[in-house]
Amino acid sequence: QAQLAESGGGLVQTGGSLRLACAASGRTFSVYAMGWFRQAPGKEREFVATIKWSSGSTYYADSVKGRFTISRDNPKKTMYLQMNSLKPEDTAVYYCAASTVVRTIPTRTGDYGYWGQGTQVTVSS
């Protein structure tokens, strides 16, 4: 069973940067892709970015494209989300997730079977 642990959340000012990390452990051999989602109070969990574990191919939500960068370190089994030019609208709990379902581009919560505990990102206005 794969286990995920996020880190790197915190409080930043508008325009600032933050890097989130998600370390995977346990049974990870079947992971096809990993991704980041975020959820603000009263809102649905929304897709942020995803990366195929083997190829490194990436895909971003329009709301973060050009500002966020997803990457991975295969030997460390760690995924990162570099967030630049942060806006108050980016404030949310950010979750990392791992998918064992083979899809071209997994962007739905249902595509992911394993989730981290979440890390709070707050951007002050």
Predicted local confidence at residue 57, as pLDDT = 96
User: What does the alpha-carbon distance between residue 51 and residue 55 come to, in Å, rounded to a whole number?
Assistant: 8
Predicted local confidence at residue 1, as pLDDT = 80
**Residue showing tokens 């079947």:** 30
Write out pLDDT tens, residues 27-63: 877 889 999 999 999 999 999 999 999 999 999 999 9
Predicted local confidence at residue 29, as pLDDT = 72
Region 69-75: mean pLDDT is 94
Write out pLDDT tens, residues 88-110: 999 999 999 999 887 779 999 99
**pLDDT surpasses 80 at 117:** yes
Predicted local confidence at residue 10, as pLDDT = 98
Which parts of 1-118 are beta strand (E)? Answer: 2-7, 10-13, 18-26, 33-39, 46-52, 58-60, 68-73, 78-83, 92-99, 114-115
